[in-house]
Amino acid sequence: MSWLTYYLGLFPGLFLLQRDVTCKEYQNVDMIIKLQDTVMLKCAYPEMGKMIQLSWEKKDGDAKHKIAVYNPKRGENIFFPYNQSVTFLSSSISGDIKLKATAADKGLYQCSINTFPEGVLLKLIAVIDPAKFPRSRAADSRVRIVPGNVMTLSFGYLNVDSIKQLTWQRMAGEEISIIVDITSSERFIGYDYKRRIQYIQSPDQNISLTIENVTTNDVGVYSCYIDTNNGNWTKTFDVDVEGDIKMFLIFGAIALGSLVLVISVVIIICVWRSKKRKASNTQFQKGTTERHNQRRANPNSYTNSDVYDQPNSRGMEYQEEAIYANL
């Protein structure tokens, strides 16, 4: 029995893997995105302090190419040639943009937000070739979360003298978010997790990651990668919303959609009835005006008599009866 088989037998859920693209080619990158026809670049302004200005740039070595700028007072501006392929999403203040991409759009993108009094916030995103995007793998453990609560993921590792590198990341669809990346000389925490995580390496051979105030946006496949003296090890966690909460959210969305549909139908019916009533009133007024005009033109004519003429007719009948009695 080899040493590898021995370790796999003692520690189920640990697997010897080669380094993937997230650890080798891109250091200190907050997010890795697979190149597609349409790419969403998410900056997610965290509302820390007052935003002064938000800008997007593409990094090409030491050179930087301006893509877009958003200023709360002056609005948005997209620079040439990106004005043909880039648009801000519905809420410009969040900083998210949509890119209609081609093969030439691979590379590093940087979102920078100038705030007061926090200073400059930076987020670095790598858009990579689809062939280099790592494939998802079967999860070793399943975790269910409740929105608003705290999530803790734990990973037991071999008893070694030191860990040369430790990386926690999250994969969701065609995106990989780097949560924490620690080496012997550097400690990097991803932009979206700076204020929500706690990383603990305890002496009892356990590494844990705690994320506070989780939401449905935290769903995905989490992986913990460690580079030790004995090899490279990874454990994955399939994180999803707890069943009851998930069904509640689904039914809530359906109920909300139904309510919006009912309200829309009621509004349409009310508007239609109002227009119909207005049209009827207009037609009635038009007919009344025509009858008044006819009476003014020929006051002795009784061919178009209406309710206003009835008292006069009744008076004439009374007069005829009185004359007959006298005779």
Q: Between 155 and 114, where is the model more confident?
A: 114
> H or E element: which one contains 192?
none
| pLDDT for residue 113 | 92
Pair 2, 164: CB distance under 8 Å: no
Mean pLDDT score, 136-147:
89
| pLDDT for residue 13 | 36
**DSSP β-bridge partners for residue 152:** 210
pLDDT digits (tens, 9 = 90+) for 110-131: 999 998 888 899 999 999 999 9
Q: What is the mean pLDDT of the chain?
A: 77
Mean pLDDT score, 283-304:
61
* pTM to 2 decimal places: 0.66
Domains parsed from the chain with CATH numbers? 1-24+138-241 (2.60.40.10), 36-128 (2.60.40.10), 244-327 (no CATH)
Give, in degrees to the nearest 5, the angle at Cα 76 between 75 and 79. 150
Which stretch, 87-91, 249-253, 320-324, has highest mean pLDDT?
87-91
Q: Between 92 and 264, where is the model more confident?
A: 264
For residue 191, which amino acid is it?
A: Y
For residue 71, which amino acid is it?
A: N
Percent of the chain exceeding pLDDT 70 equals 70
Q: Between 318 and 79, where is the model more confident?
A: 79
Pair 260, 266: CB distance under 8 Å: no
Strand 231-241, strand 141-145: pairing: parallel
Give me 18's structure tokens: 């080669």
| pLDDT for residue 15 | 36
| pLDDT for residue 138 | 84
Q: How confident is the model at residue 62 (pLDDT cuts 50, 70, 90)?
A: confident
Report the chain's C-alpha Rg in angstroms.
37
Strand 175-183, strand 31-34: pairing: antiparallel
| pLDDT for residue 65 | 95
Q: How confident is the model at residue 273 (pLDDT cuts 50, 70, 90)?
A: confident
- Those residues whose C-beta lies under 8 Å from the C-beta of residue 312, and which sit 6 or more positions away, are none
293 pLDDT above the threshold of 80: no
17 conformational bin, left if phi > 0, alpha if psi -120 to 50, beta if neither: beta
64 pLDDT above the threshold of 70: yes
Instruction: Give the 3-state DSSP-derived string for 209-274, with helices as H, strands as E and coil as C.
Output: EEECCCCHHHCEEEEEEEEECCEEEEEEEEEEECHHHHHHHHHHHHHHHHHHHHHHHHHHHHHHHH
Mean pLDDT score, 215-237:
89
6 pLDDT above the threshold of 90: no
Percent of the chain exceeding pLDDT 90 equals 39
Mean pLDDT score, 171-195:
90
**Burial status of residue 185 (CB atoms within 10 A of its CB: 0-12, 13-18, 19 or more):** exposed
| pLDDT for residue 23 | 44
Q: Between 167 and 256, where is the model more confident?
A: 167
pLDDT digits (tens, 9 = 90+) for 186-223: 889 999 998 888 766 655 567 889 999 999 999 999 99
For every residue of 5-27, DSSP letters joined together read HHHHHHSTT-EE----HHHHT-S
Q: How confident is the model at residue 301 (pLDDT cuts 50, 70, 90)?
A: low
Q: How confident is the model at residue 60 (pLDDT cuts 50, 70, 90)?
A: confident
DSSP conformational letter for 136:
P
